[in-house]
Amino acid sequence: DLVTDFCLNIGIRRQLDAFRDGFNGVFPMEKLHAFSPDELVTLICGDQYPNWSREDILNYTEPKQGYTKESPGFQRFVSVLCELNADERKAFVQFVTGCSSLPPGGLANLHPRLSVARKNETETSYPSVNTCYHYLKLPEYSSEEILRDRLLTATREKQFHFN
């Protein structure tokens, strides 16, 4: 009990007080009761398992450098994103933005907007990103299956960063 009290209370009291004072300076603690615990987590940490619709992707993603909203390659990309499960969406967001969550409000509040540019390489190559600008460079793949495979491989890669 003494060790637990020290680790979770006495030993970190100064840090907790500093955190509380800093947080209170931004958002008064007495106002927090207006939010549920889940709402607070979303406000502070963003959407941990982002969800989006086809319309969200079309409205809040900017095709560039050879892609348009109507181009087959971009439409395949939209379809693949719509089919991702929660863990795959989270990995995609991490890959493209450098952060594992979207801001509250999802893609609509991502700034700068997610951009998808055509990467002039063969379909054996992988997507690459510029995370600072949320800029995905995507080769023109001939099928959704190939696009999905290359995209998920790129999102799982931890040792080598695709350029």
For helices 144-156 and 72-83, give the axis angle rounded to 10 degrees: 60
The active-site residue, picked from 7, 82, 99, 132, is: 132
Pairing of strands 128-130, 135-139: antiparallel
Q: Pull the structure tokens for residue 158.
A: 């931890």
* Residue 7 is among the residues annotated as catalytic for this protein: no
Count Cβ atoms below 10 Å from residue 75 Cβ, excluding itself: 17
Cα–Cα dist 46/38, whole Å: 11
Which tokens go with 58? 């079309």
Task: Name the nearest CA neighbour of 110 among 102, 101, 100, 119.
Answer: 102
Q: What is the CB neighbour count within 10 angstroms for residue 10?
A: 10
Which residues are designated catalytic?
132
